[in-house]
Structure 1
């Protein structure tokens, strides 16, 4: 990709370079989940909010609210293009053609809209809040996070001269090349680019994906960014996220319904999707209790994504559980996706080789690793931990326990209740970098 990143950053014109260029500029799993919600919960109302877990970085000091609102209004005016809908209708995803139903695509074209939003300031942080029908709220997650992340980037870039920008991107490219060279030494490793939500910028993410494709070839399985997959003929990667079990849990009317809600969402999911899309995400309320209480049919799913537990521990636990259920782990898939960087990816690949089909979802530390690259030695271009979570469903609080207590969300009394119902012990929190 022949783009002068330094010159483009120096002369930013948001009408030329809007942060979100297309409604496809989102993680692929959001579209899969949107179709699931549209089919199963079209009238459910939810509220979601962004949180900056890196409290030392005061976003309100970096991101002008008026400019943020202008970018958000631009996103609300976007519509799916005819060519994008044709691609969604006719392309093969995970070996399956027509994964999106014609009536769903018609709804996307004519009736899809994004909900209203609120921008507020709390203790130096910017909080985005989205409320409305679940179908109108869910897609804001990635757009909102990408907006906050890139506006923080643009503020930092705006304080640099064009020469300093040249130095910055030269150093970042060198760091990326070092990672690519390491991956090239292990051609069997499989990596999906997962870095949309906390990327440095759209242009840098696109540059990284193109560099990875040129540098590591088939080791790059694809990208979670649907727009980049569409634009560059790549595999669109992604399955589902914590939002679904959190919402179904909030809708439960008893403790028993609450306990079973984590499997109810799987029953509904497999009515729409199969094969490589049957990937468990068991850590919403704690991985260990999920596996211990799971019905036997859950072991027939294709694999598991490890997102908040040490992936070495999570993988061993999953393999042992599969063996206890009489399944061959070598036929299953393990996807690690929590704060990965190249050395950990290669170590995981070696550790699980021959035991399970391992792959990595490489996110923020692929698309936003500018640590130590700043020409003045400053840290305002380093990544922060931005998230957007469902906080209520039909007026009921939503909770996530996680395998890492530092990632738990929800009112304290509800978190305690969920721990009691699920039997999830409070875990020792590990530092959340991204």
Structure 2
């Protein structure tokens, strides 16, 4: 794909250049989770809220409100097309045909995203999405992608076309050099997890095609459903923190709260099997999750490491499988938090042959413009921007995380959850993106 990214970024003569052009421009795990939510919890009222953890970047002073509203309103006009529905119905995902049920796809075709709430407070946008869980949960990826891209566009707008050409040339060369080193080291299991924090859609597309070209079969696929459809690439993804966060918030007793993280998995395995049985243990701490997990969880395909030190998390997982009488060499460990080249190489050296390896490469795969700016500015450096469940049926929703720098929720509720779940294995790690 010989696309002139610099000219495309420089020449915007149309009324609106949509950042999200399809409902499939989202992560695959959102559709998998949405089907389970639609089946079991469709009408649970929830609220998602945008959270900028890079507080020194005052987004409301960078992004014009009218531009943000125009992009959000455009997403509200989108609907699943017939071609997209047919592709979802007929394609094979994770080796399985018919993952998406006909009734679910018929409902999805009628879905239009509901209204949003937007205000400005202390230089930041407060953006909230409230309504039935099944109707609002897709907003998460679109919201983060839109705000992140508008911030990037503001930085790009200061550059001439030649300066943009220099910027993109440097960024593309940097990624190609990373891919070269991964190929030379024989690393496998690489996947694109960059959708929400990409530079923009076109650069993510270029990055995915570059990885496919340079890595071949060592590149497993992309989390972005639209790119998977367009280029015939495997769509990658399983589940995320919002599932246990909602079920835990709905619980009425301490016992129900502690067991909610396993009830979620039980519902998941009723709907999905095989390679989709990958669990995420760190919503309230990986150590407590593993210690109290029912034995059947050890039969799952593997786990995803998010916020814990990845080397500690990998060793902990291997010890856990061994203690449960399973062979770790048959299990998948999917590393996915703030990875870049050196992290992937080091993890591959540490764990190759001891377990099956996967690497969900996010922000620094398709949004690494650090040091590439021709004017030596840092206004294109990645943000740590998230959109999390903050309320469930009028109750606060909480995420603790293995990283004590990343909890979400009111402080009083975070304290209560920590008393309930403990803090075993939790530690501070700098937030990269």
- Relative to the length of structure 1, the TM-score reads 0.98
Q: Which residue of 2 aligns with 1:400?
A: 399
Deviation for aligned residue 1:16: 7.1
2:316: which partner in 1? 317
Residue 362 (structure 2) pairs with residue 360 (structure 1) = no
* Pair 295,54 (structure 1): closer, same or farther in 2 beyond 3 Å: same
CA-to-aligned-CA distance 1:253-272 (integer Å, 9 cap, x gap) = 10000010010101111110
**SS at 2:185's partner residue?**
coil
The 1:188/1:167 distance shift into structure 2, 3 A limit, reads: closer
Instruction: Provide the C-alpha distance between the structure 1 equivalents of 2:170 and 2:368, rounded to a whole number of angstroms.
Output: 10
Are the aligned partners of 2:60 and 2:123 in contact in 1 as well (CA < 8 Å)? yes
1:76-115 Cα offsets, whole Å, 9 max, x none, are 00011111110000000000000000000010112x1212
Contact in 2 for aligned 1:28/1:238 (Cα 8 Å): yes
Residues 70-149 of structure 1 aligned to structure 2 (within 5 Å): 70-110=70-110, 112-149=111-148
Instruction: Report the CA distance between 1:14 and its aligned residue.
Output: 5.5
* Superposed counterparts of 1:185-224, under 5 Å: 185-224=184-223
Contact residue 152 and residue 199 of structure 2 kept, 8 A: yes
Distance 2:419 2:44 in 1: 27
Given that residues 308 and 426 in structure 2 are in contact (C-alpha distance below 8 angstroms), is that contact kept between their aligned partners in structure 1? no
Q: Could you give the per-residue CA deviations for residues 165-223 of structure 1, whole angstroms, max 9, x where no partner exists?
A: 11111111111111111111123421010000011101111111111111111111000
For residues 368-379 of structure 1, what are the structure 2 equivalents within 5 Å? 368-379=367-378
Superposed CA deviations along residues 380-416 of structure 1, whole A, max 9, x for unmatched, are 0111100000000001100000000111011111111
Whole-angstrom CA distance in 2 between matches of 1:86 and 1:326: 43
Q: CA RMSD in A?
A: 1.1
Moved more, 193-202 or 419-428: 419-428
**Superposed displacement of residue 121, structure 1:** 1.3
Q: Output aligned runs, 1:334-345, within 5 Å.
A: 334-345=333-344
SS of structure 2 residue aligned to 1:330:
helix
Q: Residues 289-304 of structure 1: matches in 2 within 5 Å?
A: 289-304=288-303
Alpha-carbon contact 2:78-2:112 (below 8 Å) kept? no
- Give the Cα separation in 1 of the matches to 2:299 and 2:425: 29
Q: Is the 8 A contact 2:222 2:228 kept in 1?
A: yes
Alpha-carbon distance in structure 1 between the residues aligned to 2:422 and 2:161: 56
Conservation of the 8 A alpha-carbon contact between 1:349 and 1:359: no
Mapped partners of 2:182, 2:147: distance in 1: 30
Deviations 1:16-66 (A, max 9, x none): 741001000000000001101000001101001011101111111211110
CA deviations 1:278-322 (Å, max 9, x no partner) are 111000000000000111111111100000001111010000000
Which residue does 2:415 correspond to in 1? 416
Q: 1:391 to 1:266 in 2, by over 3 A?
A: same
Q: Which moved more, 1:163-172 or 1:419-428?
A: 419-428
Residues 279 and 303, structure 2, Cα contact 8 Å, conserved in 1: yes
Unaligned regions of 5+ residues in structure 2, if any?
none
Distance, in Å, in 2 between the alignment partners of 1:426 and 1:292 is 11
